[in-house]
Structure 1
């Protein structure tokens, strides 16, 4: 009988993409998906180390698995990803029942490491450099949504933000050749994928390491957007300091590129931005945002904001509230500062902000963000939107869900599943209601039926970010 695997994933889209690659690699090695922990022979974690809470959740789950493994000695546990790259032997020291630790640079070696551990005992294999960090063939990836795919265009980051550990665990920026990325998208399109999301730590600087002079991201957007069969192109994440006019122009002029921009602010205080080493001021950020909105019709903008960065004063936070209100975001991912060992900010202990003050500021920011999000959504009521159908709503069994070109979640109430459009369809939906985090709609027409291959079994990936 084939061995069964279960994936548990913490963190960002890059980790989700890594999990999809792992699923394909494990299946190519003869394993099959497990439906639950009870019938899994292998449990693999892809980990995040951006926030302390992800560390805590990982070690908590590893602790729970210790008793489970004592009852089932053949069970193998593997830990990969950013936390594994950072902690290495420390994971086995804290959780000696872990069989394999692999890093961000040798994900492709995971199946072989599991076989080796079965014969030799625990294995820690975390290369320092980018050896083996190819993105892998399309055939070695499994997707939850067969019509939508992640495509890595770049790994690593050359920025040195004071709060971020990514450069230490992902390495320096390394871009895939443009022709290679386009070839992957073409192959995905032949398999029925109609939506791709280009992934990188700083997509705006994509290709600078290849040309040694200027980024190639605008050229990549145009090339990917022209691939036959690709109807939507998204990307994440860009850095505001590198958002160039030619990228904005490519977004506006390439029909397939979605009018959606994730532009992390982090803080509205110039003093805090300087301490973070972000490379821009609040006004420069707002100017680039205004340029993007003036050029790209119906642009939706999302952001990241950190509350409680060391030394943040009430005046600093007031400036963040003011910028967030002026920007009028469609959505925002707000975070409480979490010191990561090895980062510059983690050493600013004398300037840490009182947790109660941070919690109060966090709530005030949430009110501002949700107010603008609701206003943006209410402005769409009465419009017709093109929606890519994803499937049943996770919240309401009597509704199906999809996303607009702007990435907005739309729920359509329909108690009879036989009347639901197939996942992967493009449909027209009339927007009849709005909330801060989603829209409500009514089906108007089916524009394009699914093009993808018959759906495989869902990849058993629990995203725990």
Structure 2
């Protein structure tokens, strides 16, 4: 559906020149990456990033929304209502709503929040500057939603939050039909980028000073299906290993159904692919997995864990778990706890089930009482925290390499520490001892203390390596005219 067509040759830069913007992002890493693209588009159109990203002082506030959690609607409309007096006091201020909730609600956004100027869908990122100018010129709200991806937005400018880490999408959309998830109906069927296009973007990012990239997809393991190469993701990881200057490669999220041995081998044999795996479990009960329409079972999931640890003994494995799915019994929940004990996850993103309108699970009759869900959730958190702490304590005394993301002087680092991620993804606070450490630098130290959710390395630095500095801004585009590298079907 699209209530407005547009000509992308329009140039709203003159009208936007000097206007400030703020983007408020909710949801997954895909939304974070989309917000970086929106920032790049707005700055290319003449907007300037506001110092305060709360939106209170910006000429434009963009909400990039999520529709996965039950309270997503309440959060959005509550935040929009708070901006009513702000907008009334600032003639010319604009508000735009995009992302999954905009794709889902469409015209409903304007009905509930008439102070919104633009509503755009998950496939309409490039339209935003033109829609804003049209709304301003016509003094009328603009809505543009298309139901499926027309062109992969790889050529959009991007303003990254980090000069040294970047997201790179390998696909958009999802072909799975999990009964609790609304994402496939909002982001569409899976569409894969050609490997050469992905690698071209990575090379451009590395030339711009990036040393760490995270490959993004709703299901990265099924990457290559659309162009007939079921081994494409493993080969893409290996190809990343040949890019000079690329020090760290991560990816999220794989689906256990499609996890294959060649990907494990590529992870273990490619030096810059980090020993880290985030693989959603959702439930440890085969009965619940069946009701969720998750096409794997607990034994297969644990087998993958064993294979990963056999190839990479020090790999940090994290997961997603949903508590209180409809009809989940106490016995079902105990099976989830059993898998958690056996898998020994480094950490887990845990969620209390909430029904999303439009999903099959929302219509299931045996919804679990809130008090029961909360009690189970608390037990899961307690168990996972114990395991996380135990596994982190095993690292005390070991060397750790940290890519620094936060320098001294921040609230959490007033004691002279810097923060960053180890190669396995753990958060580490490192004492700098008077050394001039900047974001993007790599330091090596020894772990002196372990907490459930972070490590501390206090002591003399064992190594300090300066980040590559480039003069170009933290933006990247891909040359759409570059020939695509062919990674053909594996024999």
TM-score range, shorter chain: over 0.9
Q: Is the 8 A contact 1:21 1:136 kept in 2?
A: no
2:225 to 201, 205, 208: 208
1:41-440 equivalences under 5 Å are 41-120=59-138, 121-137=140-156, 140-211=157-228, 214-348=230-364, 350-392=365-407, 394-398=411-415, 399-414=417-432, 419-440=435-456
Shift of 1:311: 0.4
User: 1:146·1:453 contact (CA, 8 Å) conserved in 2?
Assistant: no
- SS of equivalent residue, structure 1 residue 358: helix
Which sits farther off after the overlay, 19-28 or 47-56?
47-56
Distance 2:436 2:385 in 1: 30
Which residue does 2:43 correspond to in 1? 27
TM-score by structure 2 length? 0.90
Equivalent residue for 1:461? Answer: none
CA distance in 1, matches of 2:147, 2:307: 40
Question: Does the CA-based 8 Å contact 2:160-2:474 persist in structure 1?
Answer: no
The CA distance in 2 between the partners of 1:426 and 1:457, in whole Å, is 19
Is contact 1:150–1:198 with CA below 8 Å preserved after alignment?
Answer: yes
Which secondary structure does the structure 2 equivalent of 1:39 belong to? coil
Moved more, 435-444 or 277-286: 435-444
How many residues are aligned here? 452
User: Could you report, residue by residue, the CA deviation over 1:157-198 in whole angstroms, capped at 9, with x for unpaired residues?
Assistant: 000000001100010000100000001101111111110000
Kept in 2: contact 1:2–1:32 (CA 8 A): yes
- CA distance in 1 between partners of 2:268 and 2:464 (Å): 23
Alpha-carbon distance, 1:132 to partner: 4.3
Partner Cα distance (2:38, 2:322) in 1: 31
Secondary structure of 1:444's partner? coil
Q: CA deviation at 1:43?
A: 0.3
Deviation, structure 1 residue 253 = 0.3
Structure 2: unaligned runs, 5 residues or longer: 1-16, 476-491
Q: Is the 8 A contact 1:108 1:132 kept in 2?
A: no
**Map of 2:10 onto structure 1:** none
Listed as ranges, the gaps of 5+ residues in structure 1 are: 459-465
> Displacement of 1:454 after TM fit?
5.2
TM-score by length of 1: 0.94
The Cα of 1:446 is off from its aligned counterpart by 3.3
| Deviation at residue 395 of structure 1 after TM alignment | 2.5
Spell out structure 1 runs of 4+ moving beyond 3 A.
454-458
CA gap of 1:238–1:454, structure 2 versus 1, over 3 A, is: same
What secondary structure is seen at the aligned counterpart in 1 of 2:448?
Answer: strand
What do the CA deviations read for 1:212-267 (whole angstroms, capped 9, x no partner)? x5241001101112211000000001101111000000000000000000010000
The residue number in structure 2 matching 1:463 is none
**1:432-454, Cα deviation, whole Å (9 max, x unpaired):** 00000000003523342111435
Contact between 2:445 and 2:463, CA under 8 Å: does it hold in 1? Answer: no
Cα deviation code 1:79-134 (max 9, x no counterpart): 11111111111111100110000011111111111111111210010111212442
Please give the secondary structure, in 1, of the residue aligned with 2:355.
coil
CA pair 397-55 structure 1, distance change in 2 beyond 3 A: farther
Residue in structure 2 matched with residue 462 of structure 1 by the alignment:
none
Secondary structure of the equivalent of 1:129?
Answer: coil
CA distance in 2, matches of 1:331, 1:148: 22
Please give the root-mean-square deviation of Cα atoms over the aligned residues, in Å. Answer: 1.6
Distance 1:351 1:107, change over 3 A: same
**Separation of aligned partners in 1, 2:168 and 2:42:** 19
Distance 1:255 1:157 in 2: 29
